[in-house]
Amino acid sequence: MTGQFLMGIDIGTQSTRAALLDLDGRVVASASTAQDMETPRPGWAQQDPQVWWDSTISNIRRAIQQAGISPTEIRGIGVSGQMHGCVSIDEKGELLSHAVQLWCDKRSADLVEEYKKRPDVTEAYRIAGSPPVANWFGFKIKWVQVHEPEVYQRAWKFFLPKDYINFKLCGVVATDHSEASGSFLMDASSEDWSPVLVDQVGIEYDKLPPIYASSHVIGQVTSETAALTGLAAGTPVVAGGGDMLCMLLAAGITRPGNASDVTGTSAIMSVFTETPVFDKRLMNLHHVMPGWIPFGIIDSGGGSLKWFKDSFCQTEIEQAKVTGSQVYDILTALASQVEPGGEGLLYFPYLMGERTFGTPYARGVFFGVTPRTGKGAMVRAIMEGITLELRRTLEVVETAGHQIGVIYHSGGGAYSDLWSQIKADIYQKNVAVFENSEGGILGSAILGGVGAGLYTDPASGVEHCLRIAKEFKPNAELRSRYDYLFELFKDLHDRMQEPFNQLPRIP
């Protein structure tokens, strides 16, 4: 095999991955490594960045070996990663913590609540383009400053997960607009760090990395890293982007009115706009190209299904091992036998709390369990509950005047035809799934291709690579049923907020 290839690297929550893609966006070789998320306390979520890097070294070597290509045929490298994680390094580039806060970690919630009492908090929201929430990178740094002052004082720079991998690849300190916009420290107008916000949060400006465009070449693979990974020294590395935005790029969300449902560990409903949408129920992130993404997110989207599988489905896990099948296929088959709406069984997917529609102290809830409720009904309820939650974001965006047509479904959830149909029925819109559901890997590789000069810009790279595989049409007969359940879902959600807020006060 000879030719030109791009490498995409993804630092996910449940796994890390490296893949080689041709210039048409097709994966020619890939390798992944599973990993776990530690939750030592309610609302906490952490991992070790050293594990990310060690597994990435292995993934890169295996992908190159599998492809049987010369490393010199890899023209560019792009990295995507789980967002908002707070990685600290000293001046020697050594990690200062091996238990860093992840995107879904809510331990800084009390600091955020204190921040919200400021008289200028509305002005800050307008500067940042998003309301203050515990997920943002800036408040995670603040938590380190308050609760781990020795780490904060020793920290030379604070990184995001993919920025740490970039630093290991090419030795350059950098982040990109997509990650910086998810910090509550970047000015949405100037697209640079905001002195006002940095001062209000109370951290030091010089501990932040410089911001670049996602497709900007920040450096080249070092000789030391080349020896570890099998890459060619000098291979260009771009700034890359947050996994959500790379997934949206790969899903063709490149112009106003495009909408996307990305269901991975989290689940995200988002649209493309030219500027932020100011509604405090939504958040806004800068895209990995010019433009903004207003969105709503569930921190335990597909993660809810994984939790249910790991906790209650040992029989199905063993069955999958014996038959050589996928355990999620077995669970989906059970769910397909249950009628839409599951006889009123509702699931509220707040295992890791909420960001903007509700309290960060929320928990997961099954409502409407009866003696008839089995695993299939609960799996279907999880799929429906996640989709009902995402429909709330869709409702807000459309009410704000943004017309949405087809919704592009990507992430792990897109591999389930049942789930895609459920989404079409609940949204009452066509749902399209791409032939290539590589998500963050494809998006990061496209960014690498732009940096290498192989694509003119991210949008043209996507148009070159995307192909729709399936389209699911809504069942009009289910509209009234799902409309009814949607109103009930919202009513129950609102009623549970105060009880959720009481949970941390248990003596």
The confidence score (pLDDT) of residue 467 equals: 84
Of 99-108, 168-177, 243-252, 377-386, where does mean pLDDT reach its minimum?
243-252
- pLDDT(281) > 90: no
Reported pTM? 0.82
The confidence score (pLDDT) of residue 231 equals: 98
120 burial type by CB count under 10 A (0-12 exposed, 13-18 middle, 19+ buried): exposed
The confidence score (pLDDT) of residue 66 equals: 97
Burial 55-84 (b: 16+ CB within 10 A, else e): bbbbbbbbbbeebebebeebbbbbbbbbbb
Q: CA 152, CA 144: separation in Å to the nearest integer?
A: 6
The confidence score (pLDDT) of residue 183 equals: 98
Percent of the chain clearing pLDDT 90 (strictly above)? 85
Contact (CB, 8 A) for 256 and 274: yes
Q: CA 390, CA 490: separation in Å to the nearest integer?
A: 11
What is residue 440's three-state secondary structure? helix
The confidence score (pLDDT) of residue 2 equals: 61
Check residue 490 and report its DSSP letter.
H
pLDDT digits (tens, 9 = 90+) for 304-338: 999 999 999 999 999 999 999 999 999 999 999 99
All CATH 3.30.420.40 domain ranges of the chain, comma separated, are: 5-251+439-466, 302-434+470-500
The confidence score (pLDDT) of residue 158 equals: 98
Longest CA–CA span in the chain (Å) reads 65
Q: Which residues pair with 298 in a beta bridge?
A: 267
- pLDDT(1) > 80: no
The confidence score (pLDDT) of residue 92 equals: 97
- pLDDT(382) > 70: yes
One-letter identity of residue 182: G
* Orientation angle between helical segments 302-312 and 314-323, nearest 10 degrees: 90
Residue 451 gets the label, from left (phi > 0), alpha (psi -120 to 50) or beta, of: alpha
pLDDT band at 437 (very low <50, low <70, confident <90, very high): low
- pLDDT(245) > 90: yes
Class of domain 302-434+470-500: alpha beta
Class of domain 5-251+439-466: alpha beta
